[in-house]
Every structure is written in structure tokens, then in C-alpha cells.
Copies of this chain bind each other. A is one copy, B any other.
Amino acid sequence: MRISELSHVSGVPVATIKYYIREGLLPAGQPVTRTLADYREQHVHRLRLIRALIEVGELSVAATSEIMRKLDEPGAVMHDVLGAAHHALAGPARRDDSQDADEFTTAQRVVDDLVAARHWAVSSTAPARRRLARAIATLREFGLASDSNSLAPYAAAAETLAAHEVNTVPAGPRDVAAWHVVLGTVLYEPVLTALRLLAQEAASARRFGAAEGT
């Protein structure tokens, strides 16, 4: 198909498609003439994945490009593709500057305790450790419960979900499985956070709803 049709099918403007090709996120089309190129179904799939990561996962073009490179590596094992996606999703620090170094160290110890208590095999450099430590330091800053015991219910819920998610990744070709891992990591997060809000409202109605009048 022509680039105009690719744009129509994928919902991505032609200028953006050309930008993605220049940045190496998308392979160039097969040249037909000096000014025309032919695009295939694989371009449509790739563009959908890029849109999901950028529009839904709110990843930068650079971070998305990093994941695409890992996906295209012939020898990359699945665990590394997942690692690349996590690395990008856990993202750069946002509140590190405003947080006290001692407080951050204390929060990192809580993360270590949690990971050890659940017997999770997690790389010591996993960016999600930093992300969790930042969230815990913020809890501490506001005086909310943040020790390893208080967070155990969250860890237990995350563990049950993650086991389910990883076990339902299709066993087929590596690129299909990788596609599921990357997309699933990004797209089920808003499902989980929205469900938490709905479940909170239901729990609040039970505890505070009709009974409370003051």
C-alpha cells in the first residue's frame, strides 16, 4: 500500500509516519519508484504498537525506539524484551530532586525488604525499584503507612496479577509474545487503576454510605 493508505488504515498522519521512519521506529517501505514506496501489513501492526506506547503508555519517542530496537534484535530473549519495556515504563525520576536523600535511602530499604519477603527475582538495577522507592518516600513525607508490612497487601495483589499476566502470554512466535507483553504491560495498567477507584467507591458505600449522617 501507499503511505497515504497506511496513514488512513493506522490513523497516523503521513508526516508522523515519515518522522518515525527517520527515527528508526518503523522500517522504510519497499521502494517502487524514486518517490514511491510500498508498505505492508507489518507496517500497520508496528504503527499500532508505536501508537499504543506513545499515546497510551505516554512513552517518549526515544523510549519507544529503545523497545523497538530490542524487539527487532534476532537473539533477544523474551525476558529482555520485557525488561526493555519495563525500563521505559518505569521512566526517569520525576520527584527525586525534591526528596531528601536519607528519606530516599530509607524508602529503598523498604523496597529491598518487600522484594526479599516475596522472594522476587528482580534485578538490582530495575527502574521500577526506584519508582517504588519514590512512591514510598512520598508516603513517608505525608505520614501514610509505608513499611513493608503495610504494603504487603499491595505486593500480594501485584504478585497474583503478574503471575496471571505472564502465564497468559501466548507461547507462539517470539514477536507475537513480545507484542503481548509490551502492550499488556502498558494497556492493563489503566484498567487496574480505574477498577481500584470503582472498587473503592463500592467499599466506601458499604462503610460510609447510608449509615453516616454527620
Contact = CB atoms under 8 A, between A and B. Distances in A.
A105 B147 CA distance: 42
A191 B139 contact: yes
Interface residues of A, number: 84
Contacts of A135: 187-188, 190-191, 194
A-side interface mostly: helix
Interface in A163-211: 163-169, 174, 180-181, 183-185, 187-209
Contacts of A29: none
A46 B212 CA distance: 24
Given A161-B157, A195-B155, A200 B185 contact: yes
Contact of A167 (B48, B134, B207): B207
Interface stretch (A16-24, A35-43, A65-73, A113-121): A113-121
Nearest to A165: B200
Nearest to A159: B199
28 contacts: A11-B98, A52-B138, A55-B95, A77-B208, A86-B201, A118-B202, A120-B198, A121-B201, A121-B205, A122-B201, A122-B205, A123-B201, A126-B197, A128-B198, A131-B194, A132-B191, A135-B187, A139-B187, A139-B191, A142-B187, A144-B183, A144-B188, A154-B161, A154-B195, A158-B195, A166-B204, A167-B207, A185-B197
